[in-house]
Structure 1
Amino acid sequence: MMLPAALLLLGALTAVVAPRLLARADWADREPVLALWVWQCAVAAVLLCCALSMTLSAALAWQVVRGQVFAPAPHAVMEAYGLGTTGPWAAPTAVALACGGVWTAAMLMREVVRTRARRRLRCAELLVRAPLLPGEESGSRLVVLEGERSDAWWLPGGTAPRLVVTTAALRRLKGRQLDALVAHEEGHTHARHDWLLHCSAALAGGFPQVPVFAAFRHEMHRLVELAADDMASRRFGRLTTALALVELNEDRGVFGPVPTPHAHLPKRVHRLLTPPDRLTAARRLRLTAAAALVPVVPLLVAFGPGLRALG
């Protein structure tokens, strides 16, 4: 029973320490894509610790599970895991972790259902506000809506994701600013940022008391926007992208003294106008490799006794 407990302790330690370490990192805003990768590795490590602990606890508690998990393993491996000495906490731990896995799957399914419902509703609203003309194809990637408020958003899903732009936004965005806006929204789609947002929302909604999941959701909303800003600025320039953000959101009072729900926009504009120095390629490579090793640690802990027995 020591190994499942060690995996749970490792998962809890990662869930508490990882958000604090990433909050202190001074490079996240400079390398948002790398920060997204690090966050995903940290969350994957926590989930992997729970899954491995559940599997080993179930193998300790029930012979039928043990036969499935360790069927091809030699006797020395089974002795290394102490399968013959079942502890009193093996079955309750396995059941509790299995319930947590079922709850996680249910939260993910709920997020998928809600997302599809919202998408169907928005598509229906678009069809009412911008009905198809005779001979017009329904798979158009650009939809222009009549509106007095500058707005634009990418509608993911389906075989042909669509960019929705209001006529007010078309009047305000000049020249390459519209191209920068399109590149920003395309960056979200190509990087599948919507899936990151859905997964982070499901985990945080299902386990609000887990620090790493709550911080994961909070950071995803910020980092995906920074990453999309960088994608647009690499193609059309930082000044053009910053001006596009200002023109699109100026009427919302975002840049005033009173905080608004879009208070992060001034920081994004400032970041585009005064770009921070990027990390060196060597440091980016080191951070990428170090983050990839985080989910490997639970695997080494779980398979360590078996590998030592085989060795």
Structure 2
Amino acid sequence: MIVAAVLFTYAILLSTLTPRLLRGAHWTERAPRLGIVVWQALGVSALTAAALAGLALTVPTVRVSADLAELLQACVMALTAQYASPGGAAAGAAGAVLTLAVLGRTAWCVGHSAVRIRRARREHREVLDMVGRPDTTRGIVVLDHEEPAAYCLPGRHRRTVITTGALRVLDDDQLEAVLTHERTHQAERHDAVLAWAQALTHAFPRVPLFRTAEAEIARLVEMRADDMAAARSGRLTTAAALLAVAGGRAPAVALAAGGSTASRRVRRLIEPCRPLSRLRIVAGSLTAAVALAVPLLVVGGPAAAATQSNYCPNGTPADQVTMMR
């Protein structure tokens, strides 16, 4: 019961306080990839803690025996002792519902989102194959459209799409920056990162952590792609390229170089580059690692302590049930 309470409290605090502390944090803009990892780790940690809290209520802690038969006997007696009382049965049922609800809702939303995105990408890819012109030299698909736009269609059959309007306004260096931006999205599977964040928000729309994480990750993946383009083509060249395609529209299942965050990203590229210090990078990495480890440590601590002793001594079943309590 104590383990379940600790895990549930941890999940609540993480889901409500973290968004207030980290939303719009400037350090994430200086290390976008680390920021993405931290937000993902926090979301997974909260989800794991909630699921394990329910599991801890459902399955009582069993003291470990070196003998398999005695261990199984201890498990049966522990379950019998817990569910014999109305309170224990209610707690166990509530824990089972919580765990199944968290895992089932997550699995359903992730699966539904994956099917929907795959279908939409396939349909858009079929349209591109009909109306687009492949440019094998650049490895892109050219779309006849006056509006300057650039986007990538991720997935196994990926496409990088540039409109004729964008080709007219971009010089060679700016075009290379845009292409590097889109290829970074594809190489680092930013589509999968965003899909996971969106699925969690859809599954638990009232959880502040998931809502904030989705918005922050959507912003940071674009900044990460900007940084890779700037490393190849220069910050000012990349900023000019983003301005040129900022107003371009892209399908919902694609990742575009422009978009609603373009103005803030252009200002970021124009400002002097201030990489995050190594100490802060280590601190951020440790934060992500600790967030992932806390639920496992809370559950694993009592289990590890239980392995130090044989808790199935000889005696009557009643005596053993009493000792397990």
> Shorter chain as normaliser: what TM range?
0.7 to 0.9
Structure 1: distance between partners of 2:264 and 2:123: 32
Query: Structure 1 residue 51: deviation in Å?
Result: 2.4
CA RMSD of aligned residues (A): 2.8
Cα deviation per residue 1:45-103 (whole Å; 9 max; x = unaligned)? Answer: 11111222233233239xxxx8xxx996986xx79xx7643423121221232023111
Cα–Cα, structure 1 residues 34 and 251, in superposed 2: closer, same or farther, change >3 Å? closer
**Alignment-derived partner of residue 292 in structure 1:** 289
**Alignment-derived partner of residue 104 in structure 2:** 102
Structure 2: distance between partners of 1:8 and 1:175: 54
Structure 2 counterparts to residues 225-240 of structure 1, below 5 A: 225-240=222-237
Task: Give SS of 2:152's match.
Answer: strand
> Are the aligned partners of 1:141 and 1:161 in contact in 2 as well (CA < 8 Å)?
no
- The one-letter amino acid of 1:289's match is L
Task: Give SS of 1:144's match.
Answer: strand
Structure 2: distance between partners of 1:60 and 1:161: 49
Structure 1: distance between partners of 2:207 and 2:69: 35
Task: Give SS of 2:236's match.
Answer: helix
Cα–Cα, structure 1 residues 100 and 303, in superposed 2: closer, same or farther, change >3 Å? same
Cα–Cα, structure 1 residues 209 and 74, in superposed 2: closer, same or farther, change >3 Å? farther
Structure 1: distance between partners of 2:105 and 2:284: 32
Task: Give SS of 1:157's match.
Answer: coil
Structure 2 counterparts to residues 247-266 of structure 1, below 5 A: 247-249=244-246, 262-266=259-263
Structure 2 counterparts to residues 145-160 of structure 1, below 5 A: 145-158=143-156, 160=157
Structure 1: distance between partners of 2:67 and 2:225: 48
Structure 1: distance between partners of 2:193 and 2:2: 34
- Which one has the largest radius of gyration? 2
Cα–Cα, structure 1 residues 71 and 267, in superposed 2: closer, same or farther, change >3 Å? farther
Structure 1: distance between partners of 2:100 and 2:18: 24
Structure 2 unaligned spans of 5+? 250-257, 309-325
Query: Under a length normalisation based on structure 2, what TM-score does the superposition of the two structures give?
Result: 0.80
Structure 1 moving runs of 4+ over 3 Å: 70-75, 82-86
> Are the aligned partners of 2:23 and 2:212 in contact in 1 as well (CA < 8 Å)?
no
Task: Give SS of 1:29's match.
Answer: helix
**Alignment-derived partner of residue 15 in structure 2:** 15
Structure 1 unaligned spans of 5+? 253-260
**Alignment-derived partner of residue 207 in structure 2:** 210
Query: Structure 1 residue 22: deviation in Å?
Result: 1.1
Structure 2: distance between partners of 1:305 and 1:166: 60
Matched, 1:113 2:104: no
Cα deviation per residue 1:258-286 (whole Å; 9 max; x = unaligned)? Answer: xxx94421111110010342221122112
Cα deviation per residue 1:82-138 (whole Å; 9 max; x = unaligned)? Answer: 764342312122123202311111111111111011101211211221378xxx99x
Structure 2 counterparts to residues 50-69 of structure 1, below 5 A: 50-60=50-60
Cα deviation per residue 1:225-268 (whole Å; 9 max; x = unaligned)? Answer: 0111001101111011001011123688xxxxxxxx94421111
> Are the aligned partners of 2:15 and 2:46 in contact in 1 as well (CA < 8 Å)?
yes
Matched, 1:279 2:276: yes
